[in-house]
Amino acid sequence: MANTDVVESGFSAPVNPFRPTNKPQVSGVEISVPQAGNPIAGQEQARAIAEVQAAMVVARMNPRDPIRSMDLILNECTRNSLASTATYSYRRGGTEITGPSIRLAEVIAQKWGNIQYGIRELSQKDGVSSALAYAWDVETNTRREVQFHVQLKRDTKRGSYALTDGRDIYEAVANFGARRLRSCILSLIPGDVVEAAVQQCQNTLRANVDMTPEGLNKVLAAAQKYGVTKAMIEKRIQCRFESIRPAQIVSLGNILRSIREGASNVSDWFEQEEAAKEETKAIAESKGGNESLKKILKKKKSEPQPEPVQTVPPVEENVEAMMYPEPDQE
């Protein structure tokens, strides 16, 4: 006859470290009883789920009309204020890189319809902010998101310092998140829609370019603020500045915007003379000290100066002496 008695082993039952100690133990094994969570968190979770479901139901009930959406996008691109900021441009590895800006991407998403997008900050810890950029097409349930980290500090020529002001932190996160958000939005929009929007913006700029002498002087004055001279522009466009074409004015505007935003330098787009390069470098370095500027001036003084050419002034003829010569003296 088989022995049915259970032989007790010398090992104790496992203990759940998360279970309160005042709860009884059943059959040598602790039973964890689920406790009610935070009611506020439960309500927030239910609200978020209901909001997502409602957005998808509304999008399915009101699908986008691609023809109407495309007309709305092209109509928005006829505004000069949008067209002037519709593209970005910068230099990398000697190649010019251009594309639609975040402003144009936001307008396309708004007029395309049924798209939710934004930037959400997840946490801040040890001087690092974790954020999330996302874009969600609620009609097709297609979502793209990018998580990134931002060092909460600002680098200057005199060193780095931590960002403590709330506005500085917000601007730093928004600046880093704008490029990620643009990528997320454009990944959901058909490529031909984006290309048509960019082309319409270029046509708008060409149609609204002021080619009068006053308008060209304004462009030249704006370029000179960044150290771009008329000769440098003429060397780039291979013609006189007065003969510049509207498309070249548009390209010049994109270059100046890239320089203003810090995405590129003047030397990336224009060829500078050696003297102008040294003076520009000295001025840039003089913000942290005047040593470089002193070196340039000292170098100029040490260079041998050409000897001045002395010209003999013409001898003025004495008309009276010629007409009435003095008698010879014995």
**In a 3-state reduction of DSSP, which class is residue 35?**
coil
Prediction pTM value: 0.62
Instruction: Look up residue 47 and give its amino acid.
Output: R
Which range (39-48, 57-66, 209-218) has the least confidence?
39-48
CA atoms within 13 A on the CB side of 206: 12
Q: Inform me whether the pLDDT recorded for 309 exceeds 90.
A: no
> What pLDDT sits at residue 196?
95
The number of domains in the chain is 2
- List phi, psi (to 5°) of 90: -155, 165
- Domain of 164, in residue numbers: 55-199
On whether both 183 and 90 belong to a single domain, the answer is yes
On whether both 229 and 173 belong to a single domain, the answer is no
Average of per-residue pLDDT across 60-87: 92
**Cβ-based burial of 197 (10 A; exposed 0-12, middle 13-18, buried ≥19):** buried
> What pLDDT sits at residue 291?
58
On whether both 242 and 265 belong to a single domain, the answer is yes
On whether both 145 and 216 belong to a single domain, the answer is no
* 258-264 contact pairs (CB < 8 A, 24+): 258/88, 258/89, 258/90, 259/226, 260/226, 261/88, 263/88, 263/89, 263/90, 264/89, 264/90, 264/91
Which range (10-14, 64-68, 128-132, 207-211) has the least confidence?
10-14
Please, which pLDDT band fits residue 3 given cuts at 50, 70 and 90? low
Q: Inform me whether the pLDDT recorded for 74 exceeds 90.
A: yes
On whether both 174 and 93 belong to a single domain, the answer is yes
- Quick: pLDDT tens for 177-190: 999 999 999 999 99
Q: Inform me whether the pLDDT recorded for 17 exceeds 60.
A: yes
Q: Calculate ∠ Cα 285-286-288, nearest 5°.
A: 80
Residues sharing a CB contact under 8 Å with residue 232, sequence separation 6 or more, in sequence order: 270, 271, 272
Average of per-residue pLDDT across 92-120: 89
